[in-house]
Amino acid sequence: MPSAGRLVGRLRRCTKIKMPIERHFVTIAGQWGPRQVHYRRCGSGPAVLLLHQSPQSSAEYETLMLQWAEGFTVFAPDHPGYGMSDPLASDSEVEITLWEFADALAEFMDAVGISSAATYGFHTGAGMAVALAAAYPERVTAVYANGYVVLDDAERDHILSGYLPPLEPRWDGSHLAWIWARNRDQLMFFPWFDRQLSARMIHDVPEPSVLQNWLLEFLRAGDYYRVAYRAAFNFDGNVPLETLQVPAIITATETDVLRTHLEKIQKQASCVAIRDGGTLEENLDEAHAFFFRHPGAEPGHAPETGAISGHGWNRMLNYEHGNLRLHCNLDAPGQPLLLLHGAGGSCETIEKVFRGFEGKRPVIALDLPGHGESHPLAGHAMFLDSTATAILAVLDQLGFPTVDAWAEWGGSTVLIDFIGRHPERIRRAVCSGVQLFNSKDAEELAVHYSPPIEPAWHGGHLLEYWHIIRNHSLFWPWYRQERGGIIEAEPRVDVADVHTRVIALLKSAAGWPRICVELFCYPVDGALQNCVNKLYLCAAHWDPNLTHTVAAADITGLECTTLPDRQEEWADAIIELCAVKPDVDAAKEYLSGVEA
């Protein structure tokens, strides 16, 4: 809500990590059916629950978690529909109340083994914290509500009249500029659409990097961003305070526009203290001391992530360089199949391919290091080194001695490299759109294909991302916008697909330039000799890397299979390729040629 930029900016200025933050998914079978909640956990001691504002996620609390970890076991869940947690309803028009969000939080506490916790909430999270304490007083030992919404009917009607327009991706990417501008104005006016002096707030506008993080959180929520906001604005903040049975401090920082809402609180129970806050740091220090006086119970160990039958589900896996996000469906019998996306992609960009395997083969996709929701690529670590380590960790921790694998574009390079390092772990490898470039093309691509794009204060950089991704389906390479670069196939510029791929690129933006350079400079032709006896090549006719895949087929003596136009239909073709006995004679012929 209004002070979001300041909170996110301050809490993300991370000091030296003393205790690692774990990331998990927990699977819940509750009143909304099977769903998953993504959460962060850190520290040891009594449980503390941190509830974020809208439309953020638990990521905004990472620094605070580290600060409180020595005295508490700190839990920060992504609220349903935000961050990486499943929504309570697929339709963002469905009314979900804060009381229902509180019910969902109680289900989360049950699932992760929290019998009681002290609870901190900011803005929307403040309302959720009070609702949770009011509905489940036996589960909450103390509440600190920082920035609590109390509206009269006229204020509520005014805010709801313009605060929550639908988020609709546009063909030209203008919706990204709208989100950026809206978020900036949300730091200048309350409500953000009421652009007059009486609504002006006195805040510094955060650095573009902070606004970029906020934009990504908005995009993770999508149109569902409206649901928790709407619930907070429709919540009658006076009602639960009158009968609250839990020690509570209701406050707001000295610069929070919601500070004036404290004056509207009409009556509160004797255990509730209403007071003006100080700086954000002072409020957090007060909450920390308050929770020591009213500690929750100590929780057990984090539970294993349960599967959801019938469709894909998520899991976080720890390896030596951080967290990896996996997307799985293990319902079917048979040889497991590993899916690898290309540079700048994610599990979402290959979701159509993933769904084709459901019910046919056990299937696992992962966000490669530096991509999607996996940990950023560390320091000066080489991408292929980190990725090989990550894939090996996935196979070992899932207990798969061998898998079949499919990869596209730069993911094919990743797969070919992994086979060279660990040939015994891959039974069959299907590569789609192999990126086999001569030295001249590789040098040109390394210079032009993945330019570093710095966030700009005005948000104009977002259109650059949009048109780079859109051009991927119009020209090859995308930057060669001339007759010779036209892709002669039906343009694949569906707005939803472009939107998904732009989000994936934004998530990988920090490492994308150097990752692409490393992949373009990789000696694919030489590495093919390590996997030719288990390799299958394919591409759709619209794939700009079709010619490079055919070239790879020519030098290996393998065939290049043409995939169907629709990615949803690729699974059957890939399964068929994996069932074919490798062409050992062609492999021997190729290898003998290399040796000669």
Structure confidence by residue, pLDDT tens digits, 329-369: 999 999 999 999 999 999 999 999 999 999 999 999 999 99
379, 262: one domain? no
* Total length of the chain: 596
377, 515: one domain? yes
Does 507 score more than 90 pLDDT? yes
Q: What percent of the chain has pLDDT over 70?
A: 94
Instruction: Provide the number of structural domains found in the chain.
Output: 2
Rg for the chain, CA atoms, rounded: 26
CB 166 within 8 A of CB 140: no
Q: Are strands 140-146 and 117-122 parallel, antiparallel or unpaired?
A: parallel
- Burial label for 90, CB within 10 Å (0-12, 13-18, 19+), is exposed
24, 72: one domain? yes
Tens digit of each residue's pLDDT (9 = 90 or more) over 386-400? 999 999 999 999 999
Q: Does 183 fall in a domain?
A: no
469, 588: one domain? yes
Does 71 score more than 90 pLDDT? yes
Q: Does 306 fall in a domain?
A: no
321, 279: one domain? no
435, 483: one domain? yes
Does 587 score more than 80 pLDDT? no
Q: CB neighbours of 520 closer than 8 A, spacing ≥ 6?
A: 435, 437, 442, 445, 446, 449
288, 317: one domain? no
Q: Does 305 fall in a domain?
A: no
Query: Which neighbouring-strand residues pair with 28?
Result: 35
pLDDT of residue 10: 38
Q: Does 218 fall in a domain?
A: no
Cα dist from 251 to 8, 233, 243, whole Å = 19, 17, 18
How much is the pTM? 0.94
Tell me, what CATH number does 487's domain have? 3.40.50.1820
Tens digit of each residue's pLDDT (9 = 90 or more) over 196-220? 999 999 889 999 999 999 999 999 9
286, 341: one domain? no
3-state SS assignment for residue 39: strand
107, 148: one domain? yes
Tens digit of each residue's pLDDT (9 = 90 or more) over 441-475? 999 999 999 999 999 999 999 999 999 999 999 99
333, 262: one domain? no
Q: Does 253 fall in a domain?
A: yes
Q: Does 134 fall in a domain?
A: yes
Query: Residue 151: enclosing H or E segment and its boundaries?
Result: none
Tokens of 504: 């994936």
Q: Does 161 fall in a domain?
A: no
pLDDT of residue 595: 53
42, 103: one domain? yes
Residue with tokens 């003006």: 276
Does 283 score more than 90 pLDDT? yes
Cα dist from 297 to 36, 131, 304, whole Å = 24, 20, 21
389, 458: one domain? yes
Q: Which residues form the domain of 130?
A: 7-152+226-293
Q: Does 217 fall in a domain?
A: no
Query: Residue 327: enclosing H or E segment and its boundaries?
Result: strand 322-329
Tokens of 386: 């980190």
Closest CA to 5 of 243, 224, 181, 186: 186
